[in-house]
A = this chain, B = another copy of it.
Amino acid sequence: MSDKQIPYKIYLEESELPKAWYNLRADMNNKPAPLLNPETHKPMTASDLSGIFCDELIAQELDDTTHYFDIPKEILDFYKMYRPAPLVRAYCLEEKLQTPAKIYYKFEGNNTSGSHKLNSAIAQAYYAKKQGLKGVTTETGAGQWGTALSMACSYLGLDCNVYMVKVSYEQKPFRREVMRTYGASVTPSPSMETEVGRKILAEYPGTTGSLGCAISEAVEKAGSNEGYRYVLGSVLNQVMLHQSVIGLETKAAMDKYGIKPDIIIGCAGGGSNLGGLISPFMGEKLRGEADYRFIAVEPASCPSLTRGKYAYDFCDTGKVCPLSKMYTLGSSYIPAPNHAGGLRYHGMNSTLSQLYADGYMEATTVTQTEVFKAATEFARVEGILPAPESSHAIKAAIDEALKCKETGEEKTILFGLTGTGYFDMVAYQKFNDGQMENYIPTDAEIQASLDKLPKID
């Protein structure tokens, strides 16, 4: 099909939308290693997990053979609020770069939570509701996941308790207010509400909190309250399953117009967006039906794939969650305080980790000043003010497009634009004022954290 017949923004028709999530693990010969019980070091069973997670989500988490899971009608109905997400041809960016490459991006930011996180939030809230639970607990850092979850819970009439890292709660009050507007209770962490919170406050009276501590509080709260479960917005394979809707829609839109991407790029924190975007394309690659280059883009300050170790580690700093085999910097690794660009997770989803270990995917790092420069360049020509996280992918896409300019190749580049940066203007301000700094950890720093990895036989 000629370029002229392809709409500038592709919105699928309702009849063309995915009706089932795709479970990439089912097409892998080398399955991701199982989650381990943090005490016994034996593979986690459904009953081990049932006090923490909802039953159907546990089933999805542990299933590496079922290819497709039907999306419940209630979730499809909710999707209608903000899906389909458009697949956009970045004509203006191409012109700005004077590249022969064709650049597409899948934009997931057209909803109030401002990111792709809503895709899994509604799924997790739905299964909690279906199980007859009263509510869910979770943690949030800057607040993207907490916002998404509060929207989903509000829609379903489910109670939503968010533990928000205290420093974010105080310094980034706007996402907190979005959550409250959606009816969530938002507690600065550490709090006096939980045993672990009280213990940490007694030990470190002035602490401003950490994501690891907030996870521990949310897990304790779920475990100690009848009718509550804990939910998590990234890292888990259930999340990647829900997020496959990103890739399925993208692939359907591209197939409809006969577009085949050569390179697929996603930013990589815990892996929820990257995994979701690449899933159906990676499935084709695993089955030998097509070939693509996949590039995971990490912040230079938190480089789990590129500089971490492939090993069993705790998913949380508080070490209460199961052990996962993944590329990790060690659960005690914390990015430098000047890191403003999100993607601060120490590890990586286990499925993506296995694929990377097996050579199916590349990874690269970018510094945050490069990221904000790319974000600004993108905003000025494409209109959308991107989230810092998404801008990691923009930076890598621009680099690939500039390589095409040198070689004259007309490659088709696809990247995931996961969200908007409206709540990240403090970071933009730093960049605009020329006060943003980069941080690249030394090998010794990373090694110090890796030295604390749990010993698994």
**Number of residues in A with C-beta < 8 Å to the partner?**
40
Let me know if A11 is at the binding interface, CB within 8 A. yes
Q: A65 → chain B, closest Cβ, in Å?
A: 35
Give A41 to B66 CA distance when docked, in angstroms: 79
Within 8 A of B (CB), among A72-108: 80-82, 92
Is the beta-carbon distance between A181 and B428 smaller than 8 angstroms?
yes
Contacts of A82 in B (CB 8 A): 383
| In the complex with contacts A173-B429, A384-B112, A379-B422 CB distance below 8 A | no
Within 8 A of B (CB), among A8-46: 8-9, 11, 14
Is the beta-carbon distance between A383 and B11 smaller than 8 angstroms?
no
Let me know if A127 is at the binding interface, CB within 8 A. no
Let me know if A257 is at the binding interface, CB within 8 A. no
Give A384 to B109 CA distance when docked, in angstroms: 12
Let me know if A174 is at the binding interface, CB within 8 A. yes
Is the beta-carbon distance between B432 and A112 smaller than 8 angstroms?
no
Is the beta-carbon distance between B81 and A382 smaller than 8 angstroms?
yes
Let me know if A380 is at the binding interface, CB within 8 A. yes
Give A11 to B382 CA distance when docked, in angstroms: 20
Is the beta-carbon distance between A177 and B429 smaller than 8 angstroms?
yes
| In the complex with contacts A181-B376, A181-B432, A425-B383 CB distance below 8 A | no
Contacts of A425 in B (CB 8 A): 173-174, 177-178
Is the beta-carbon distance between B112 and A183 smaller than 8 angstroms?
no
Let me know if A420 is at the binding interface, CB within 8 A. yes
Number of copies: 2
Contact of A112 among B180, B181, B376, B385 (CB under 8 A): B385
Is the beta-carbon distance between A80 and B8 smaller than 8 angstroms?
yes
Give A155 to B379 CA distance when docked, in angstroms: 9
Let me know if A57 is at the binding interface, CB within 8 A. no
Give A422 to B381 CA distance when docked, in angstroms: 22
| In the complex with contacts A14-B7, A425-B174, A181-B80 CB distance below 8 A | no
Q: Which chain B residue lies CB-closest to A430?
A: B177
Is the beta-carbon distance between B9 and A80 smaller than 8 angstroms?
yes
Q: Which chain B residue lies CB-closest to A157?
A: B380
| In the complex with contacts A8-B80, A80-B8, A177-B428, A112-B154 CB distance below 8 A | no
Give A110 to B428 CA distance when docked, in angstroms: 21
Within 8 A of B (CB), among A337-387: 376, 379-385
Let me know if A292 is at the binding interface, CB within 8 A. no
Give A92 to B422 CA distance when docked, in angstroms: 26
Q: A261 → chain B, closest Cβ, in Å?
A: 21
Is the beta-carbon distance between A383 and B429 smaller than 8 angstroms?
no
Contacts of A154 in B (CB 8 A): 379-381
Q: A91 → chain B, closest Cβ, in Å?
A: 9
Let me know if A151 is at the binding interface, CB within 8 A. yes
Within 8 A of B (CB), among A399-454: 420, 422-423, 425-426, 428-429, 432
Give A151 to B382 CA distance when docked, in angstroms: 10
Is the beta-carbon distance between A112 and B383 smaller than 8 angstroms?
yes
Contacts of A183 in B (CB 8 A): 380
Is the beta-carbon distance between B178 and A383 smaller than 8 angstroms?
no
Is the beta-carbon distance between A155 and B376 smaller than 8 angstroms?
no
Q: A70 → chain B, closest Cβ, in Å?
A: 20
The 3 A-B residue pairs whose C-beta atoms are closest, nearest first, are A174-B425, A81-B383, A177-B425
A-B contact pairs, 6 of them (CB 8 A): A81-B383, A110-B110, A111-B383, A112-B385, A177-B428, A181-B385
Other contacts beyond A155-B383, A181-B380: 17, CB < 8 A: A8-B14, A9-B80, A81-B383, A110-B110, A111-B384, A112-B379, A112-B384, A112-B385, A112-B422, A114-B422, A174-B425, A178-B425, A180-B428, A180-B429, A181-B428, A182-B379, A183-B380
Binding site for B on A (CB under 8 A): 7-9, 11, 14, 80-82, 92, 110-112, 114, 151, 154-155, 173-174, 177-178, 180-183, 376, 379-385, 420, 422-423, 425-426, 428-429, 432
